[in-house]
Every structure is written in C-alpha cells, then in structure tokens.
Structure 1
C-alpha cells in the first residue's frame, strides 16, 4: 500500500479557509511565481478557471511536482466536493477521487470520472488504497482529514504554510479531539510566500 498523506494549504494560525469557506490569500503563491508546476508548461494542473495554469517559485515547483506526481487517489469530504463541484471531474492530481459522504454521487454528474462516494473513513480509506495501489493517497485536511488522523489512518502530515493570520475559520485538523504526536519535520522548504513542511505521524 502507498503512503497516506494529509495535506492542505494553511494559514500560520492553522486555518484552511474562513468561516464562509473562502481561502483569501492562501492560494496566491500558486500564481505569483515564474515556474510552471509542469515541466512542459502544459495545463495539466490548471483547475483555477483562469486558463493560465499554476506558476510558483522554483523551490515550490520542485516540491509540488514531486508531491502531485506521486498521488494516485485524493480523498475529500462532501463539503469540499460541493464547493468546487468535484473539480468538474478532473482532480488537480492523481487518477481517482474518493468522496467521504452519506449521500451518493449526484445523478448524471461526470459519469466518465473515477469518483467514488463512500460512507465512513475506514471504508473510504480501503477504497482509496485499492485504487491507488502503491501510489500515495492524499487526504484533504479539515473535518474529514482530522477524522482520518484520529483513526490512525494517516502516515504523514504535509502543510503549505502561508504567512497570513485568519483569526477564525475552518481548522486544518478540523475538530479533532485529543493530542496527536508528530515527528520533527523531515521536509522544510522555503518558497515565496509559502513554507512547505512534512511531518511523519508518530505511531
């Protein structure tokens, strides 16, 4: 089985969006650099609706390419799915998406897309691992991500920390209850307006 990484862009005070699910300046660094995330400059990762694709600093590009290139399956909650309409069936990375939801896929929604709606974190992880094989399972942070971490289903935590303070909003770890110990960061990369960190979850 592949590594399970919980990931998101996050403010320095631990929020992934404000109370209205607006990300504010958290994603600005995706578009403020001079290096396309894809070597060829194609639009493989362009899900911004701008048509310009992601361009980041050179340090960030190398890191993001390695992360996104390793992903087989993305796991997301139903709230995020509804907010972005499932990226219109084209996830920013990986070949498959598992949506943790009590409700089924919307009728007629992109039947060609490999999106699977599964009730409960354990069943969702089983499906995600099955689809990913030896590749990475990337779990979006937030309420659902916190549930996966609390259930002991996350191997690493990856944070793209942006120098902004939200004060309140949607927390990176959701409403997780109790302490979770992480190892010292084994990846520390300073980009422009973002700091990339990765921690292994202490077993």
Structure 2
C-alpha cells in the first residue's frame, strides 16, 4: 500500500490518533513554523509511539551537529531535509534521509539534479516564494506523474482527504505526506482524528501499491 506520513505533530493525542488510524510515519518539525516542536516535547511523544511507527525529524538548513544531536536525543529514525542542504551534508547526516524539493512556479523538477542526492527518498512539495514548506497548496501533479527517479517518491503539498485519492492515482508515489490538510480549522499543529482517518482511507482506496 502507499505509505502515509502525518507531519507537523505537536502533541501526543494527535500522534496516537495518527498511529491508530494506520499512519506509517509521523513528522516532527524542528524549524521555524507554527508546527515547530522542541526536542523535549518530541522525545516524550516518540517514547509513547508504537514500535513500528517511523519517527521523522524535519529540519531546514540546520547545523549538522544540531541535527545529529536532536536525532539521537529524540530517537528519530529518519531525517527530512527541507532546505538548501548540499549533497555532502545529506551524506554526512548518518541516518536515513528524505530530501525535499519544491516544485511549481519558477521551480521545475530536474531529475538529474534530484537523483544526485544520496537520499533514501525524494519528497516533492509546493514552491511558494519565501516558504520552505507547510503551505497547504498543491502543485501541478502532472509534473510528477511518470517521473523516473532512482529513489522512492513522496508527494506533499496541499493534500487533503478530498484530493489525495486523485493524487495517488495520477502520480503513483511511494508515499504521501500531509500536515495542514488533516488539522482542526484554524489550529496549526492540532490534528483532527476524523480527517486523519478519512485521509488514510482515501489514500489507500485506489489500491495502488508501490513496488
């Protein structure tokens, strides 16, 4: 089945709701954002999660030693890099890496450049000037449909319970990543359990299963 990551987790209730609904991974944002969480808070949540949930830390151009220290302290499994981190930085993280690239507007997908990163997966998010992610806006999914990459593709940007099914059918990604699309109205970081359940059901309804 398509893998599902619920990102921007800020409390244990949202984390457990996502785990119970069948999420494969949870994301914790350690960068300036309405969904930013402290390492202490993230560590407490991570300790309460079921063992098969993947814990992902999201960083934006942070010092490498800081990333390593937070990952060790919180027990993170994967590091998601959402800034302008170079190839050597990705290689030196020391954990599995998801490298994010923004798409849309003036930014296009360059498969050759993307493929050059030593990442375990490539995440495509929506380009919005001055923002590194969490925009709540989708990009043109046709830009990602049929894209040939040597790493698994994770689709992000403006996904909701209403549109994720179509996105999965068109792009056929390894995984999808949602944050604001499953939140309570006007409450960044506060996840809505019903929206999470509907999102996961819709994402998997197509029956698409990556190789």
TM range (shorter): 0.3 to 0.5
The structure whose residues are more often helix, as a share, is 2
Greater RCO (CA < 8 Å, at least 6 residues apart): 1
Structure 2 length-normalised TM: 0.38
